Structure 1
């Protein structure tokens, strides 16, 4: 408050009276804000934003000559935002209208008292106030200390309708904070599950779903482990902060089993005409999929699949419901990519009852002659052996599920398809099982399943219908095999043909109908498909073999090599800890006391600075902590000791790096060898990545700049090919004609010329 003498009588907002309320202050810029008192009177006050909020309230109460202590009051904006030390400057600067109201502790006491009464006349307004104030730290502390949370939970257990909706919304707002709900009883979670299952009102189900989603995501595996620096971790000074990360998927899933209809209800609401209802349900499903633990993953995903959740999300794609729902659909799409990747990388296990049943059902659906031996039946299906884990090694459980779906979808047609191939000459027989697995690989490649997630910003409905697309594409594979009169050795050629067709049929997935995909797969003639593929191959070969493209690849390779070299040098200049190694011949003797060495390359790239230490310690940037050095020019060779290399090294420390059994060299050991043949340093890296970075970096520092590690060579090659593809996309996208040869202007006849800018 601004001070111009002793306090005076406040002036009303209409200008009547002797002057605005003023209080004593220190120094600083002052601003005038309108303050409404509890009795409705509006006064003007000049406030110094450098003061503490409690001091502003105290001086305002003195100026207004209030009998009560200032601790019973607080300032709020006209939108009920509590004025604190954090926002006082902004509120004063913007001249925001203010209200002198009850302190948060007083509001909390009144609200808890009203909740305890259980009288709807009192409970309704109390819940409205609670929804507004629950996120404020001071209010929350007072509310919890007065056992307000238990009162709120009791109301959620006992009430329905609008009161339940308001109570759930208040609880949802509370759970936006990371404290206050550390010890919720299991009965509360059971109640939330029951509400979601039975309540149809969107005003009730929306906050209930939001609450359950927060419980699912409060997984102890993702506990941020707040420390003393946490701003919201604790209410009591000096105590370790509590954490709300003690629920998670397993806790919630156990409660959903009490209500078998829960998951079915959530999935069914995806078809609701209310976009908000569909959005809330999809958000919960995404949270459940993303948080599912290994213990319940198989069971949970199986339940979702049985409820046809994918079909319901595909239907949502057909309508535009706004950005929020679109974002959730893309999240679901990404989750399905993760599910598909996990199934693809899960091995088939004949000891698993589910896997064994699917394999037996495939055999039964094929309806092969009864006289065939077990091995002959698998051979007629197109397997090389009866070792199913090995046969499905590339495609895992995903391949088994796709094959099973194809067999079960139309058993009679499947049997005819298998028998048609089985009755052919062995050399002309299409190996159905191998074709099915190859299609799984092609589709996984098309949708980039190998990355384990989807980054597509457009809808991919056919990714969600993976099994159905696999069915159609496998039939296309068999048709192309028959139409081209292929033999066993033609399998790669037919697979390439199918890959080309997949790209065409699924090119514009978000706008292509299933009817169009079926037409491409079922009606495309072999000759037309083959001609198109040949044109694609000719274009690719012709383009890549042109002189400008070869020159471009050389340039990009050089740039990629320089990029990797700079990255390796940066690793060396960042520095790393190594274990000081000892030769195998001295491995049985006493080891040096200083087991660890920190190495760092200086900016001039002339010296390797280092320090030896018995333990790892904090190393500052620069070279001040590194008293010793090795001259880079003295390093004639970087000798590796992996495998049977001599002389071979063992780590001097076994705390972080464990040597191989016996006296074989550690795979991450290397020595810096001088021109005279003696070792300048013997080190063991703590990981393969550090080993590769330093060995390559040190080799690149030498005059020949050689690269010795295959990992680095592969990285340079990959970067080159990616850069080339990007450049070609830029060119071909603009339909720029790439010449076969470069045209040069004739040289000048004399020296009377200059170079243009």
Structure 2
């Protein structure tokens, strides 16, 4: 719309005909967010007419008027409409519409105006204090005390735009309450609501705010609500950060009551309550100061604190840690008392420190959700530049289930403590396991995963799997930081593993084994065959490596004897120096690695040893003449792996079977894990010192020296 048309537009807006006003204000809402148009409109007295329409009209005319004012405020113009003696009446009117009007298009406009009014900073205006922020709404809300309840209810609306505007208003109210407390406006710690911000937040939570936002964050309407949801998520982190910063102070009644409730809920005995630890009278327990009594020497340590001054132990977790512990104790009273009773039967050094564990879980969750990062502007910019999949991962509905996650995490801590047989000195090790557990279960949960499933996974996650994950993460972190030194250590361990496995395989050959052997065809049997008895159509063959590891002795038998044959009964032998190669189909087969006592009719597993005719031929190497000198039919894949790789290793060749290579990896990995477990945690995530890996000089050293490893 051209600026020259503004006088005619104002005339129609002031018309007595409803149809004329409706058409005019309909056109106004599409043009008023142009700053040059808005400037002329305001200077021509348009705000007075617009205010009159909001105060007196209804239906679509009212909806268009509210939308026009909202768009004007979006371009940061028209604030003077709230800087007049009648501004209070306008705010009352808008609040009344939010409370009583059922039309969605009117509610959206009214909510948008309140969002702008609450979010506008007085520093940007010359108005008197109280014109903007939550204070501007207080008189109207006093008339409509159901305001907050009705606003929270509108988060369940089927209209996504209304839900988004409603959540934006609640965000503005929370942000204003927190900002007032931080800036100390009016030299008071209370927010614009007339109450301290924690009480205001609890008031909204009691109305079901968290539950409603949690549902929205998991819904399919995420894109329509993205910005207010991200802001609410950031504000939740702000609140958690503020609660953590609040120092636990027993001079504050609410802090003292919270700590006392933890103690009383623990079902202390009479001695713990009255302070009589040895049955003496109250008078004997007096310490001579204001008539107070000594409390039990383990009053607080029995609950899992390190000392008898619990307030000081909340230094890291702050009042947030006390809130979490209090909430757990209150909602799980029976489980808490049962756990304490169970721990009391254990030696002191084996007891799970419940209070310390609770604070550790609080700090772990705080770190996991990155509650120290609360910059909403950075979050919004990032949301615009990442793809849809990454956008989805930016939402963390489980953050809104903080209390339930803390409870589940604490219960998981106690379970891990018991299953690992931990003691007091192992506290930080269990904390590390909890950190990994939460990162795996909570961190990898999809946006749609319900908190009940998370609780179940935390309660049932396998300790062995958790240990594997811990070592894998530790190895990756260590390798990233220590680089070349780590690679050298791994190579050294692999060589040690090869030596170890070679010795194991060779020992199998030294022990000797039975092999099956196909029976000769009937026409090819000689006279000596009568002296051999075939079992199930086969003969038995026994092979064994000599003690000096130079000869492979073997012989055929008609029966498999219970006693292993000695070397003197093995009439044949092969000089290992004459063996040229060992061939087999073992590495190509995929089957059961179990062996059987009876040979099978199908000899699918076969090891063929090739050798030179004599040592002279062997010395000629590849030019020498070779032939098969011995064939073995192992009774199972494990035996085949032991003999094939054992023979290859004796010939200084690399093992080839999957079973042996798996054993090599297992031994090397265990060696690395043992070394990593000796490394201090702080060293894992920091680079090596400059002198690491440098071999000391041997100059001026005699034979009396050693390396401290």
TM-score range, shorter chain: 0.5 to 0.7
CA contact (8 A) 1:216 1:247 kept: yes
**Structure 1 residue 123 displacement after superposition:** 3.3
Once residues 44 and 470 of structure 2 are traced to their aligned partners in structure 1, the CA distance between those partners, rounded to angstroms, is 75
Aligned to 1:503: 439
Aligned to 1:323: 223
Once the two structures are superposed, the pairs formed by residues 574-593 of structure 1 within 5 Å of their partners are: none
Aligned to 2:118: 216
Aligned to 1:252: 137
Q: Cα–Cα, structure 1 residues 526 and 190, in superposed 2: closer, same or farther, change >3 Å?
A: same
Unaligned 5+ runs, structure 2:
182-189, 192-196, 276-294, 384-390, 489-681, 694-709
Aligned to 2:523: none
Q: Cα–Cα, structure 1 residues 723 and 121, in superposed 2: closer, same or farther, change >3 Å?
A: farther
Aligned to 1:400: 322
The secondary structure found in structure 2 opposite 1:448 is coil
In the alignment, which of 166, 173, 178 is matched to residue 64 of structure 2?
A: 166
Once residues 139 and 242 of structure 1 are traced to their aligned partners in structure 2, the CA distance between those partners, rounded to angstroms, is 24
In the alignment, which of 163, 169, 176 is matched to residue 74 of structure 2?
A: 176
| TM-score (structure 1 length as normaliser) | 0.53
The secondary structure found in structure 1 opposite 2:135 is helix
CA contact (8 A) 1:196 1:209 kept: yes
Once residues 178 and 504 of structure 1 are traced to their aligned partners in structure 2, the CA distance between those partners, rounded to angstroms, is 45
In the alignment, which of 347, 365, 370 is matched to residue 265 of structure 2?
A: 365
In the alignment, which of 105, 120, 125 is matched to residue 7 of structure 2?
A: 105
Aligned to 1:683: none
Aligned to 2:498: none
Aligned to 1:568: none
Q: Cα–Cα, structure 1 residues 257 and 244, in superposed 2: closer, same or farther, change >3 Å?
A: closer
**Structure 1 residue 441 displacement after superposition:** 1.1
CA contact (8 A) 1:430 1:488 kept: yes
CA contact (8 A) 2:70 2:109 kept: yes
Query: Is 1:446 the equivalent of 2:381?
Result: no
**Structure 1 residue 272 displacement after superposition:** 1.9
The secondary structure found in structure 1 opposite 2:74 is coil
**Structure 1 residue 393 displacement after superposition:** 0.9
The secondary structure found in structure 2 opposite 1:321 is coil
Q: Cα–Cα, structure 1 residues 379 and 132, in superposed 2: closer, same or farther, change >3 Å?
A: same
Aligned to 2:473: 536
Tell me the alpha carbon deviations over residues 655-683 of structure 1, each in whole angstroms, 9 at most, x when there is no partner: xxxxxxxxxxxxxxxxxxxxxxxxxxxxx
CA contact (8 A) 1:105 1:138 kept: no
Unaligned 5+ runs, structure 1:
1-79, 84-101, 226-240, 552-717, 725-739, 741-757
Aligned to 2:522: none
In the alignment, which of 82, 88, 93 is matched to residue 186 of structure 1?
A: 88
**Structure 1 residue 330 displacement after superposition:** 1.9
Aligned to 1:299: 199
CA contact (8 A) 1:335 1:453 kept: no
Tell me which of the two structures has the higher relative contact order, counting C-alpha pairs closer than 8 angstroms and 6 or more residues apart: 2
Once residues 410 and 258 of structure 1 are traced to their aligned partners in structure 2, the CA distance between those partners, rounded to angstroms, is 40
**Structure 1 residue 215 displacement after superposition:** 0.5
**Structure 1 residue 428 displacement after superposition:** 1.5
Structure holding more helix per residue: 2
Once residues 414 and 354 of structure 1 are traced to their aligned partners in structure 2, the CA distance between those partners, rounded to angstroms, is 22
CA contact (8 A) 1:320 1:326 kept: no
The secondary structure found in structure 2 opposite 1:179 is coil
Q: Cα–Cα, structure 1 residues 112 and 404, in superposed 2: closer, same or farther, change >3 Å?
A: same
Q: Cα–Cα, structure 1 residues 246 and 315, in superposed 2: closer, same or farther, change >3 Å?
A: same
**Structure 1 residue 369 displacement after superposition:** 1.3
CA contact (8 A) 2:305 2:353 kept: yes
**Structure 1 residue 520 displacement after superposition:** 2.5
In the alignment, which of 467, 477, 484 is matched to residue 420 of structure 2?
A: 484
Query: Is 1:284 the equivalent of 2:188?
Result: no
Q: Cα–Cα, structure 1 residues 112 and 501, in superposed 2: closer, same or farther, change >3 Å?
A: closer
Once residues 472 and 43 of structure 2 are traced to their aligned partners in structure 1, the CA distance between those partners, rounded to angstroms, is 76
**Structure 1 residue 439 displacement after superposition:** 0.8
Once residues 368 and 112 of structure 2 are traced to their aligned partners in structure 1, the CA distance between those partners, rounded to angstroms, is 35
Q: Cα–Cα, structure 1 residues 322 and 501, in superposed 2: closer, same or farther, change >3 Å?
A: closer
Once the two structures are superposed, the pairs formed by residues 68-83 of structure 1 within 5 Å of their partners are: 80=1, 82=2
The secondary structure found in structure 2 opposite 1:384 is coil
CA contact (8 A) 1:216 1:288 kept: yes
Tell me the alpha carbon deviations over residues 232-272 of structure 1, each in whole angstroms, 9 at most, x when there is no partner: xxxxxxxxx98999512333356434422222222222222
**Structure 1 residue 474 displacement after superposition:** 0.5
Query: Is 1:313 the equivalent of 2:234?
Result: no
Aligned to 1:648: none
| TM-score (structure 2 length as normaliser) | 0.56
Once residues 55 and 254 of structure 2 are traced to their aligned partners in structure 1, the CA distance between those partners, rounded to angstroms, is 40
Once residues 446 and 377 of structure 1 are traced to their aligned partners in structure 2, the CA distance between those partners, rounded to angstroms, is 32
Once residues 467 and 35 of structure 2 are traced to their aligned partners in structure 1, the CA distance between those partners, rounded to angstroms, is 70
Q: Cα–Cα, structure 1 residues 371 and 412, in superposed 2: closer, same or farther, change >3 Å?
A: same
The secondary structure found in structure 2 opposite 1:449 is coil
**Structure 1 residue 274 displacement after superposition:** 2.1
Aligned to 2:539: none
Tell me the alpha carbon deviations over residues 416-456 of structure 1, each in whole angstroms, 9 at most, x when there is no partner: 12232234322221111111001111111111223345748
**Structure 1 residue 172 displacement after superposition:** 1.7
Aligned to 2:313: 391
In the alignment, which of 37, 47, 50 is matched to residue 152 of structure 1?
A: 50
The secondary structure found in structure 1 opposite 2:270 is coil
Once the two structures are superposed, the pairs formed by residues 48-127 of structure 1 within 5 Å of their partners are: 80=1, 82=2, 103-108=5-10, 110-111=11-12, 113-114=14-15, 117=16, 119-127=17-25
Deviates further, 409-418 or 353-362? 353-362
Once residues 131 and 722 of structure 1 are traced to their aligned partners in structure 2, the CA distance between those partners, rounded to angstroms, is 59
Once residues 260 and 352 of structure 2 are traced to their aligned partners in structure 1, the CA distance between those partners, rounded to angstroms, is 21
Aligned to 1:523: 460
**Structure 1 residue 377 displacement after superposition:** 2.9
Q: Cα–Cα, structure 1 residues 550 and 211, in superposed 2: closer, same or farther, change >3 Å?
A: farther
The secondary structure found in structure 2 opposite 1:315 is helix
CA contact (8 A) 1:218 1:245 kept: no
**Structure 1 residue 523 displacement after superposition:** 1.4
CA contact (8 A) 1:505 1:517 kept: yes
The secondary structure found in structure 2 opposite 1:485 is coil
Q: Cα–Cα, structure 1 residues 131 and 360, in superposed 2: closer, same or farther, change >3 Å?
A: same
Tell me the alpha carbon deviations over residues 175-209 of structure 1, each in whole angstroms, 9 at most, x when there is no partner: 23433332521221122122112222111000111
Once the two structures are superposed, the pairs formed by residues 726-737 of structure 1 within 5 Å of their partners are: none
Once the two structures are superposed, the pairs formed by residues 346-357 of structure 1 within 5 Å of their partners are: 346-357=246-257
Once residues 243 and 136 of structure 1 are traced to their aligned partners in structure 2, the CA distance between those partners, rounded to angstroms, is 28
CA contact (8 A) 1:215 1:247 kept: yes
**Structure 1 residue 326 displacement after superposition:** 2.3
The secondary structure found in structure 1 opposite 2:432 is helix
CA contact (8 A) 2:304 2:353 kept: yes
CA contact (8 A) 2:441 2:458 kept: yes
The secondary structure found in structure 2 opposite 1:465 is helix
Once residues 142 and 546 of structure 1 are traced to their aligned partners in structure 2, the CA distance between those partners, rounded to angstroms, is 67
Q: Cα–Cα, structure 1 residues 530 and 254, in superposed 2: closer, same or farther, change >3 Å?
A: farther
Query: Is 1:416 the equivalent of 2:338?
Result: yes
Q: Cα–Cα, structure 1 residues 137 and 521, in superposed 2: closer, same or farther, change >3 Å?
A: closer
Query: Is 1:275 the equivalent of 2:160?
Result: yes
CA contact (8 A) 1:219 1:245 kept: no
CA contact (8 A) 1:378 1:386 kept: yes
Tell me the alpha carbon deviations over residues 305-337 of structure 1, each in whole angstroms, 9 at most, x when there is no partner: 222322212211222225331232222212211
Once residues 527 and 177 of structure 1 are traced to their aligned partners in structure 2, the CA distance between those partners, rounded to angstroms, is 59
**Structure 1 residue 395 displacement after superposition:** 0.8
Once residues 550 and 528 of structure 1 are traced to their aligned partners in structure 2, the CA distance between those partners, rounded to angstroms, is 25
